[in-house]
Amino acid sequence: MIEYTKLQHKKVLVLGLAKSGVAAAELLHQLGAFVTVNDSKPFDENPQAQSLLEKGITVICGRHPEDLLDEGFELLVKNPGIPYTNPIVDDAVKRGVQVITEVELAYLVSDAPIIGITGTNGKTTTTTLIFEMLNRGRKSPLIAGNIGTVACGVAAGATKDNVIVTELSSFQLMGTKEFKPKIAILTNLYDAHLDYHGSFEDYANAKFNITKNQDESDWFIYNADQEIVNEYAAKSKAGKIPFSSNGRSDVGISADDEMIYWQGEAFLERVNIALPGKHNLENILAALAACILYGCEKKALEEVLKTFTGVRHRTQFVREWNGRKIYNDSKATNCLATKVALEAFTQPIILLAGGLDRNHSFEELRASMKNVKSVVAFGQTGERFIEFAKSCGVEEAVLAEDVEDAVTKAASISEDGDVLLLSPACASWDQYKSFEIRGDLFIEAVMKL
């Protein structure tokens, strides 16, 4: 950690704990700031707050006092999930108190260069691929953000010999002021989190913060196949590296059915890439571009692509069983994600789907159901999903009690050459606390076949 002294003796409020709030409070305390933490959970039920109090940090728990900002704070570090409409955040903005997220704090204190990855879809896979490639290329990467350790927790111990690979959400980026990654990646832009941002424009503007402060000494890697992304990319001052999966291009990184090209020259054959799907090809192109720019040898990149079969719960290859290939895509909690997963395969698919009923339509999936030969549905939307599947011409659609029962039923109706795909198109909260738990139970059931 560099000797950052600008926050010494400054009064800083950390609003909301969880992992990011705890890490921010501890780092600010190390930097010599006078830190106050405010969290809604009562103190006697809040071990994180208790731990911070033991370290000498002021803790206010169980409520958000209306006069909290009368203490004269000069900075507010908020949990990314807390909206700007929150009364304390809104009051801070009106008083002229700077409001940031811990990602900004990480950037300020770190001596290590940052590779930042954002976008509606593909962030986690792209981030993980970059980390694995840099690690294989012996570039001393550290992984941070929405996966791994929170950014300021990593930044505190990073040196100039490291590179921090950081997955970034729109919530985090909205709270940045000076943040300036050496390499920034925008995977794609679709409607998302509009309940938080209010409009697609505000959501996209938050995403664009990843390159807002970049200059000619930095690089911006972006999806050239999306017109809206091209429009935002034109505003960036960084060196631009477009990626495209729609055929060979003379600029940036691109791919056709056989080959990946770097600046128009053949670079890698696609035949040895283990990760399936057009959406994953886009993630691979973005990751390759970042690692080429960072000086990774081609051999290291090839070795990772031959063995990388996906991030857990994201079109993750689980096993081959009696001629069937089985994939876990429990992270697919909406129709768009399931649509992308379905389009990744040309083989006959037995789709395991269903979950929390938010009264959302499944119509977005209709055009992508052509390879689905059977559906096993579960959860609150189980019966609705079966009705939808039959309306798409799927002849065999059966109801299961839960994801484990769905595995048993899917296996029993499957044939050699089928793909068994868990891609629920629904959140998990009707039966499971998280999509991770749902996916883990799916894997356990698959391994027992």
Binding region:
119-125
Give the residue among 181, 240, 174 at the shortest CA–CA distance from 214. 181
What are the binding residues for ATP? 119-125
Calpha distance 324→390 (Å, rounded): 23
Residues forming beta bridges with residue 119, ordered by sequence position: none
d(CA 386, CA 398): 7
Task: Enter the tokens of residue 264.
Answer: 């128009």
Nearest Cα residue to 449 out of 418, 406, 400? 406
- Give the residue from 426, 365, 416, 363 showing the smallest Cα distance to 406: 426
Helix (H) or strand (E) holding 222: strand 219-223
Residue (of 121, 128, 67) closest to 92 by Cα position: 67
Pairwise CA distance, residues 36 & 42, whole Å: 15
Of 317, 320, 343, the residue nearest 329 (C-alpha): 317
The terminus-to-terminus CA distance of the chain in angstroms comes to 49
377 phi/psi in degrees, rounded to 5: -115, 150
Query: Rounded to the nearest 5 degrees, what angle is found at the Cα of 400, between the Cα atoms of 394 and 406?
Result: 85
**Is residue 28 within 8 Å of residue 77, measured between CB atoms?**
yes
* 275 token code pair: 């990760």
In which residue are the tokens 């006078």 written?
Answer: 34
**Under DSSP, is residue 355 helix (H, G, I), strand (E, B) or coil?**
coil
Q: 296-300, long-range: CB within 8 Å, 24+ apart, which pairs?
A: 296/133, 296/134, 296/136, 296/137, 296/139, 297/137, 298/267, 298/268, 300/133, 300/136, 300/137, 300/138
Question: What are the φ/ψ torsions at residue 222 (nearest 5 degrees)?
Answer: -145, 160
Closest by CA to 103, choosing from 5, 201, 184, is 184
- Judge residue 237's burial from the number of C-beta atoms within 10 Å of its C-beta, 0-12 exposed, 13-18 middle, 19 or more buried: middle
- Where do we find the tokens 């809040």? 46
- Say how far apart CA 27 and CA 12 lie, in whole Å: 12
